């Protein structure tokens, strides 16, 4: 954190979900410091930043949030307005964040008190995972254990015109898909039939295949 005036940005953590207790306490679920990715650009990642701020003034305070890869160019994520309670000089707020990562490596999330030099920088690492592959033993295990899912469907909306599509990834050979369900394209790119916008699907497919691979490995180890 830098700067010597204005509200104090004390700390921040990232988590996948947030809940409130009956007493009003903020509970962080699945705190993390890195994202896993299977291709770039990634699918849009969503998460929460839990930010602790002290010495809030009586008037409202705006926090601007941006992200950069290392010391590279910043991309604006969002902003949040904070109001001090009647007696409390501090506040814990949760800020929902969305971002589509273009590269792996160390990223920095910047929290800036608008109108001051106060900045809190929190690292966030993006780690590239190898493409999930299935050995002959894995495939044979899947064939003999139908209770383990060997295909997963996902609904995807075009980010340009919101046209809906359903894609399926099937590890085992299968006949033609029905009901408007589409296979994932080998290139990872799908052109929207309504507006021509290109959807990047490789990262989504990698996440799905990874979940199937994890289920197979867990079952082969006896659920351990």
Give pTM, 2 decimals.
Answer: 0.86
What pLDDT, on the 0 to 100 scale, is given for residue 2?
47
Main-chain phi, psi angles of 140, to 5 degrees: -65, -40
Q: How many CB atoms lie within 10 A of CB 144?
A: 8
pLDDT in tens, the chain (224 residues): 444 466 889 999 999 999 888 777 788 899 999 999 999 999 999 999 999 988 888 778 899 999 999 999 999 999 999 877 655 556 888 999 999 999 999 999 999 999 888 999 999 999 999 999 999 999 999 999 888 888 899 999 999 999 999 999 999 877 667 778 999 999 999 999 999 999 999 999 999 999 999 999 998 887 55
pLDDT at 39: 97
Which backbone phi and psi does 145 adopt, to 5 degrees? Answer: -135, 75
What integer pLDDT is reported at residue 223 of this predicted model? 58
Measured distance CA(13)–CA(122) in Å, rounded? 8
Buried (b) or exposed (e) across 179-202, using 16+ Cβ within 10 A?
eeeeebeeebebebeeeeeebbbb
Residue 90: predicted pLDDT: 66
**DSSP H or E stretch at residue 32:** strand 26-32
Give the model's pLDDT for residue 88: 56
Identify the structural domains of the chain with CATH numbers, from first to last: 8-128 (2.60.40.10), 136-220 (no CATH)
Maximum C-alpha span of the chain: 66
**Where on the phi/psi map is residue 2: left (φ > 0), alpha (ψ -120 to 50), or beta?**
beta
| Number of neighbours of residue 25 by Cβ within 10 angstroms | 9
């Amino acid at each position: 954190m830098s700067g010597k005036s204005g509200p104090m940005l004390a700390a921040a953590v990232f988590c996948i979900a947030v809940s409130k207790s009956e007493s009003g306490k903020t509970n962080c679920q699945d705190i993390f410091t890195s994202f896993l990715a299977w291709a770039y650009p990634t699918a849009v990642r969503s998460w929460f930043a839990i930010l602790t701020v002290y010495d809030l003034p009586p008037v409202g305070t705006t926090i601007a949030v941006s992200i950069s890869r290392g010391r590279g160019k910043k991309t604006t994520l969002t902003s949040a307005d904070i109001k001090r309670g009647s007696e409390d000089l501090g506040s814990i707020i949760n800020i929902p964040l969305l971002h589509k990562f273009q590269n792996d490596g160390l990223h920095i999330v910047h929290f800036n008190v608008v109108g001051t030099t106060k900045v809190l920088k929190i690292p966030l690492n993006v780690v590239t995972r190898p493409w999930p592959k299935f050995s002959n033993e894995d495939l044979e295990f899947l064939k003999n254990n139908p209770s383990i899912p060997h295909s997963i469907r996902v609904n995807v909306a075009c980010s340009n015109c919101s046209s809906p599509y359903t894609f399926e990834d099937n590890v085992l050979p299968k006949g033609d898909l029905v009901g408007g369900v589409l296979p994932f394209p080998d290139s990872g790119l799908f052109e929207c039939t309504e507006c021509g916008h290109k959807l990047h699907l490789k990262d989504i497919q990698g996440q799905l295949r990874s979940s199937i691979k994890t289920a197979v490995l867990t079952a082969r180890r006896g659920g351990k």
